[in-house]
């Protein structure tokens, strides 16, 4: 999809489809008023017949409206003007793209960013509109014979802002939205890819490709031999049951002029999680191909940030492996010495995410990080606690947690904080090793984070549990690209602060 911004008036737009808002109780928005005038009250007439009231989600397509050059006029219900918030704006944008697509128009001109959204400026409205539209039109057809869905989709959307001044002011926001969209698409494509075609080796190859497309990004792949030298025995304890070798992928993006400390993002890259010897039930096990979505988010964030050219230093780390049962697999009760020197009793081989993350988190210290944020489809318990609406957030540094929560609010990609209290740590006691890899039924998301916290003492750290948010389950299962919008917003905010 191509996006652009122009300034201009609605009644003059020469387009296949002009999109304007109608508020609840048939109230005309500013753009609608202008069209009404130009068309000698055609709009008022139609509205008075009651075809559209203006409730959110409603729409009405008119053709051959007199007095305007647009071929089609698409009216979108926008609800009550004073109540328009982030969520409603999203619904409006999503309704508009769905309707535009059903008209068959190849391009459209939208006045919807002209709506007043509570506490949001025009840049936000443009950026979010691009994000929501990209989200809504996404399809994954790499493994279908027919590479396009049958209908001819809209190819170009032009947003109209009130003045030339706003047009130039909004251009960076538009570009940011587009860059974010590219990152999110990378994350979703990797997530949706079946596990037989998305192995650790494939991820490593894709990382190298990403490094080739951006001068500012350096990529390094650590193989199992080198992992052994680094004493990453916990990570290797997971991959030892698989015929696919593990890879540790690192991205280094230099955007800041100074040698400032980088933000380090670590993502769980389990390309398939069978549970290992503690094998999972077979129902919906296919969805465990999404267990690398944390790793895929690292790809997406690095790509978006590099595309934006953000003035920040960023490191991405992805431990990638399969979790398989086999005669070489870890057995419950096995003990391993992690890279940190702490010993781990593996009581359940299905709690593998923390086993690969702990060594990756230890490895992170060498980047002298400003902060470390890990992203992982870590616990089913998080889905029980928060459902699919919020990402779980736990941190050893409250200001960092605040920043992430705030970024999530702005980006429409929210997280919710859970406590990381010392009281929970007892649940991880082991009679044979320094720590056990599971903490019992209670507070599973928290004890998982407690486990990780034993490897992050040296720096400010936050953990995002995306088990509920990384993909949508069921018949229309699909990776969502979350929490890439949250993380990119966090990094953008950090850049603004530094200015
Ligand atoms: N990848 C899973 C977590 C998961 C499960 C995410 C379902 C999304 C949906 C993780 O590796 C796992 O298996 N966790 C176990 C931990 C348990 C053994 C302590 C879980 O949540 O059941
Ligand atoms: Mn597991
Ligand atoms: Zn897992």
E strands within 379-488?
A: 391-395, 415-417, 435-436, 461-465, 471-472, 478-479
User: Which residue, chain included where needed, has tokens 């994000």?
Assistant: 131
Which of 280, 388, 458, 477 is flagged as catalytic? 280
Alpha carbon 395 to its chain centroid, in Å, reads 19
Task: Read off the pLDDT of each residue in 266-275 and give the average, rounded to a whole number.
Answer: 99
- Distance, CA of 180 to CA of 396 (rounded, Å): 28
Which of 72, 185, 354, 482 is flagged as catalytic? 354
Q: Pick the range with the lowest mean pLDDT from 227-236, 254-263, 281-290.
A: 254-263
How far does the centroid of ligand 2 lie from the alpha carbon of residue 299, in Å?
22
Give the 3-state DSSP-derived string for 237-294, with helices as H, strands as E and coil as C.
HHHCCCCCCCEEEEEEEECCCCCCCCEEEEECEEEEECCCCCCCCCCCHHHHHHHHHH
User: Which residue, chain included where needed, has tokens 């075809």?
Assistant: 51
Which ligand lies nearest to the CA atom of residue 442 in the structure?
Answer: 1
Residue 125: its pLDDT value, please? 98
Residue 153: its pLDDT value, please? 86
Q: Report the DSSP pairing between strands 415-417 and 435-436.
A: unpaired
Residues with CB under 6 A from ligand 1: 273, 291, 348, 350-353, 377-381, 383, 438, 444, 467
How far does the centroid of ligand 2 lie from the alpha carbon of residue 334, in Å?
16
- Distance, CA of 36 to CA of 435 (rounded, Å): 70
Locate CATH 3.40.220.10 in the chain. 2-160
Beta-carbon-side half-sphere exposure of residue 107 (alpha carbons within 13 Å): 12
pLDDT tens per residue, range 435-466: 999 999 999 999 999 999 999 999 999 999 99
Residue 335: its pLDDT value, please? 99
Residue 499: its pLDDT value, please? 78
State the pLDDT confidence band at 152, using cuts at 50, 70 and 90: confident
Residue 444: its pLDDT value, please? 98
Task: Select from 445, 449, 451 the least CA-distant residue to 428.
Answer: 451
Residue-by-residue DSSP string for 73-136: EEEEE---GGG--HHHHHHHHHHHHHHHHHHT-SEEEE-GGGS--TT--HHHHHHHHHHHHHHH
Mean pLDDT value across the chain: 97
Q: Collect residues with CB below 5 Å from ion ligand 2.
A: 273, 350, 352
CA angle 274, 302, 405 (to 5 degrees): 80
pLDDT surpassing 80 at residue 151: no
Q: Show the tokens assigned to 383.
A: 């889905």
pLDDT surpassing 80 at residue 150: no
- Distance, CA of 407 to CA of 401 (rounded, Å): 10
pLDDT tens per residue, range 40-55: 999 999 999 999 999 9
Residue 378: its pLDDT value, please? 99
Of 281, 287, 345, 380, the one to substitute when testing ligand 1's pocket (max ligand atoms within 8 A of C-beta) is 380
Residue 63 falls in the annotated catalytic set: no
How far does the centroid of ligand 3 lie from the alpha carbon of residue 210, in Å?
25
Measured by CA distance, the residue closest to atom 17 of ligand 1 is 351
- The atom number, within ligand 1, closest to the CA of 291 reads 1
Measured by CA distance, the residue closest to atom 16 of ligand 1 is 351
Residue 317: its pLDDT value, please? 99
Class of domain 2-160: alpha beta
pLDDT tens per residue, range 393-434: 999 999 999 999 999 999 999 999 999 999 999 999 999 999
- The atom number, within ligand 1, closest to the CA of 353 reads 11
How far does the centroid of ligand 3 lie from the alpha carbon of residue 412, in Å?
26
State the pLDDT confidence band at 147, using cuts at 50, 70 and 90: confident
User: Which residue, chain included where needed, has tokens 């096990």?
Assistant: 285
Residue 149: its pLDDT value, please? 79
4 class by beta-carbon count within 10 Å (0-12 exposed, 13-18 middle, 19+ buried): middle
Residue 499 falls in the annotated catalytic set: no
pLDDT surpassing 90 at residue 1: yes
CATH topology (fold) of 182-498: Aminopeptidase (3.40.630)
328 class by beta-carbon count within 10 Å (0-12 exposed, 13-18 middle, 19+ buried): exposed
- The atom number, within ligand 1, closest to the CA of 447 reads 19
Locate CATH 3.40.630.10 in the chain. 182-498
- The atom number, within ligand 1, closest to the CA of 348 reads 18
Task: Read off the pLDDT of each residue in 368-388 and give the average, rounded to a whole number.
Answer: 98
* Interacting residues of 366 by C-beta distance below 8 A, sequence separation 6+: none
Q: What percent of the chain has pLDDT over 90?
A: 97
446 class by beta-carbon count within 10 Å (0-12 exposed, 13-18 middle, 19+ buried): buried
pLDDT tens per residue, range 340-375: 999 999 999 999 999 999 999 999 999 999 999 999
């Amino acid at each position: 999809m191509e996006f652009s911004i122009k300034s201009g008036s609605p009644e003059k737009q020469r387009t296949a489809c002009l999109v304007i808002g109608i508020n609840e109780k048939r109230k005309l928005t500013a753009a609608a008023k202008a069209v009404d005038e130009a068309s000698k009250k055609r709009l008022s007439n139609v509205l008075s017949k009651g075809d559209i009231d203006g409730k959110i989600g409603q729409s009405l397509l008119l053709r051959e409206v007199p007095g305007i050059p647009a071929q089609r006029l698409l009216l979108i219900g926008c609800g009550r003007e004073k109540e328009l918030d982030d969520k409603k704006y999203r619904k409006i944008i999503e309704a508009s793209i769905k309707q535009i697509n059903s008209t068959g128009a190849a391009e459209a001109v939208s006045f919807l960013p002209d709506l007043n959204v509570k506490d949001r400026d025009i840049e936000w409205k443009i950026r979010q509109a691009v994000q929501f539209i990209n989200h809504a039109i996404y399809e994954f057809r790499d493994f279908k014979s027919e590479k396009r869905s049958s209908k001819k989709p809209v190819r170009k959307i032009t947003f109209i802002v009130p003045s030339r001044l706003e047009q130039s002011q909004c251009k960076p926001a538009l570009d940011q939205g587009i860059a974010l969209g590219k990152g999110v698409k990378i994350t979703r494509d990797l997530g949706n890819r079946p596990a037989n075609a998305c192995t650790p080796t494939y991820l490593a190859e894709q990382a190298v490709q990403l490094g080739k497309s951006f001068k500012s990004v350096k990529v390094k792949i650590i193989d199992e031999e080198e992992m052994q030298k680094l004493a990453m025995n916990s990570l290797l304890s997971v991959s030892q049951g698989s015929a696919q070798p593990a890879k540790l992928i690192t991205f280094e993006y230099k955007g800041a002029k100074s040698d400032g400390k980088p933000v380090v993002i670590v993502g769980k890259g389990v390309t398939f999680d069978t549970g290992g010897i503690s094998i999972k039930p077979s129902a919906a096990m296919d969805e465990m191909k999404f267990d690398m979505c944390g790793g895929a988010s690292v790809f997406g964030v690095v790509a978006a940030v590099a595309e934006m050219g953000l003035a920040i230093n960023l490191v991405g780390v992805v431990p990638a492996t399969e979790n398989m049962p086999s005669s070489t697999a870890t057995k419950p009760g096995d003990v391993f010495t992690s890279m940190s020197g702490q010993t781990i009793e593996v009581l359940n081989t299905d709690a593998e995410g923390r086993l690969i993350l702990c060594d990756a988190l230890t490895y992170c210290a060498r980047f002298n990080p400003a902060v470390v944020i890990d992203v992982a489809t870590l616990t089913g318990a998080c889905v029980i606690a928060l459902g699919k609406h919020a990402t779980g957030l736990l941190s050893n540094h409250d200001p960092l947690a605040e920043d992430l929560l705030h970024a999530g609010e702005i980006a429409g990609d929210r997280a919710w904080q859970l406590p990381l209290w010392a009281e929970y740590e007892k649940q991880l006691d082991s009679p044979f090793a320094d720590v056990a890899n599971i903490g019992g039924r209670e507070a599973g998301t928290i004890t998982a984070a407690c486990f990780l916290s034993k490897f992050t003492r040296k720096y400010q750290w936050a953990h995002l549990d995306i088990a509920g948010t990384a993909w949508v389950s069921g018949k229309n299962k699909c990776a969502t690209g979350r929490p890439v919008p949250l993380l990119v917003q966090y990094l953008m905010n950090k850049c603004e602060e530094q200015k």
